[in-house]
Structure 1
Amino acid sequence: MLAYDASADSLVECLRLGESAIIESMRRFVHSVVDVFGDEYLRSPNDEDTARLLATNERRGFPGMMGSIDCSLNDIDVLHWSHLLDDLAAGEAPKVQYSINGHHYTMGYYLADDIYSEWATFVKPIPSPVGRKQQHFVLQQAAARKDVERAFGVLQSRFPIVKGATRLWDGTPLAPS
């Protein structure tokens, strides 16, 4: 199901298992992955992660940037399951200290596309950049966001399941409970 983005009923003959056994195996697999890797990869950034992200992005010319949000697939559905979005919606973001053009800020930000909500933590592209400074910023912002798009492109080319949300045959999302 994961490798070929196939439904359980389409794998019955190939696997010589019943549809319910395939679905149950998938549920157990997903829960096992969450159990094994969840503490490391499904958690909010800790202080060490935050320091590393801030240092990396400052070297790239984006002081205070925590990262980019751009799944390039059904973004809102993907973010619906994200603890990051829950924290941002609650007005919680990693506390950071940085200054840009003489203005002091205390909250990290994420580069985002136009489809995202109007939150202080999302920095979206300037719709019609005027002047060299704004045009330069738009180019640099797009280049930084492209890193995330390229990473997903590699995953999508290797694993077709990454191209869309995984759903079981009954249409329910396959997400950990």
Structure 2
Amino acid sequence: MRSFYSLLPLLNWHKKKMNDLTVDLLLGGKFRMPPEMFNDICAALAASCRYFCPECDAAGRAGFATVQKVTVALRMLAYGGPVDSLDEYIRMGESTVLETVNKFTRAIVAIFGPEYLREPNEHDIARLHAKTEERGFPGMLGSIDCMHWEWEKCPVSLHG
């Protein structure tokens, strides 16, 4: 087992890497979220899921920082595209990207689900009705989801 002092260079490297990525990604407005929110997500993931904590491999090389893993998961979910497109940007292999996205989505639901993925209570419904009424849609709860668009390649079994 390594002592705490032998891990200091690794921790300093991750701290520097995190600061560099935070400045580049967040202040550049890539994800359109405040840096505080991104940092809160990173901290919550690192605190609840060991996968998101920085570690060394068997050769003593530093693994991916929490910020790198969160960044790759957010980029995949926000922009889509092929997995290997992140290879040059984050320098993370395809299988690691897929594993990170899987663990990220499960951890986000586990951590933030009870607060944000719950049924609306009476207070929430009243607030939403008031907001939609002032926008000109009285009595609507939800959103218009573009149902008027024609789906050209719709399977015959789903035509309605």
Common fold: TM-score over 0.5: no
Structure ranking higher in strand proportion? 1
Q: TM-score range by the shorter chain?
A: 0.3 to 0.5
Q: Tell me the TM-score normalized by structure 2.
A: 0.37
